[in-house]
Amino acid sequence: MWWLCLMLVLPAHAAINVVDDQGAKVTLAAPPQRIVSLLPSLTESVCVLGACGRLVATDRWSNWPEAVRRLPKLGGLDDANLELILAQRPDLVLLSSSNRLAARLRALGLTVAELDAEDLPQVQRLLTKVAALLGVPQQAAVQWQLIESDIRKAQAMVPPSARGTRVYFEVSSALYAAGESSYIGQLLTRLGAVNVVSAQWGPFPKLNPEFVVRAQPDLIMLSATEAEGLVRRPGWSQMKAVRHGRICAMPPVEYDVLSRPGPRLGAAAQVLARCLAPAGGRR
């Protein structure tokens, strides 16, 4: 019966240790069972890694998969309610590195991991760290292989005539753009497009309006909610892309996919591929 005694003294799970994006060591005695996620890409990562049932609450923007819509919403990315978070009694809080609540949550004794991504390698790293925190480290590689497979399918959707298309991808009407070094820019590169916002400007730079006019992109990609105002911007009505209707205005469901650097990058690549097809035009 010596083996029974051994089982009684051994822990059920080895401790989990992960260094988050701020360099903080996150330690868990066992895989977390009550998780609060305050970033949509982190929420989606938890779910594709098989732990959706462990989420107890999210930020208000987390809406995929369908199951998370029914969870309590704790606020936005920058105005999450501290009292509501504490009321969930989480054993792990996942949030963006830019979220100002992290230090306060740690001071109150909560376990916090700050994770985010702006380019493709960082998305892979995010998935790896979330999988480790969940106690399923092997699942990260499986999910990344699925993403790569979907990106290859997206590449096959782009006709040769669309390769080399010069693209401007607008993140917001305040003229924040997705640059060449962002995950969106890197997906565009893999699809054969050319980003008019070069890597030297950083992943998501704020641009001068005249920059885009001078750049004269062949195709403009943006949220459908912003598309109608393009012609009213000074000088934009004379841009070739605007005159010829080479505007890919994405509905909210598609734009959500593109705005989240997480496990749906393969689907995001396919949205971009459909935009690049010559038949795309104004949507």
Report the alpha-carbon distance of residue 220 to residue 241 in Å, rounded. Answer: 7
What mean pLDDT is predicted for residues 143-159? 97
Q: Which two tokens stand for residue 139?
A: 């699942």
Write out the residue limits of the CATH 3.40.50.1980 domain(s) in the chain.
Answer: 13-137, 160-276
Strand partners of residue 172: 176
| Topology (CATH level 3) of domain 160-276 | Rossmann fold (3.40.50)
Is residue 238's pLDDT more than 60? yes
Is residue 52's pLDDT more than 90? yes
Is residue 7's pLDDT more than 90? no
Is residue 8's pLDDT more than 80? no
Is residue 263's pLDDT more than 80? yes
- Contact criterion met (CB below 8 Å) for 171 and 224: no
Is residue 280's pLDDT more than 70? no
> Under DSSP, is residue 157 helix (H, G, I), strand (E, B) or coil?
helix
- Contact criterion met (CB below 8 Å) for 188 and 196: no
State the average pLDDT for the chain.
93
What mean pLDDT is predicted for residues 102-127? 97
Residue 10 pLDDT: 39
What are the start-end ranges of the H helices in the chain?
A: 2-9, 40-48, 82-87, 102-107, 120-134, 139-157, 183-190, 209-215, 224-227, 240-243, 252-258, 265-276
Is residue 281's pLDDT more than 70? no
Residue 12 pLDDT: 55
- Contact criterion met (CB below 8 Å) for 63 and 253: no
Report the alpha-carbon distance of residue 127 to residue 139 in Å, rounded. Answer: 9
Percent of the chain predicted with pLDDT > 70: 94
Residue 14 burial (10 A CB sphere; 0-12, 13-18, 19+): exposed
Give helix then strand counts, H and E, for the chain.
Answer: 12, 11
CA dihedral over 125, 131, 135, 141, signed as positive or negative: negative
Q: What is the tens place of the pLDDT at every residue in 164-199?
A: 999 999 999 999 999 999 999 999 999 999 999 999
CATH number for 13-137 (one of 3.40.50.970, 3.40.225.10, 1.10.15.40, 3.40.50.1980): it is 3.40.50.1980
Rounded to the nearest 5 degrees, what angle is found at the Cα of 258, between the Cα atoms of 24 and 250? 155
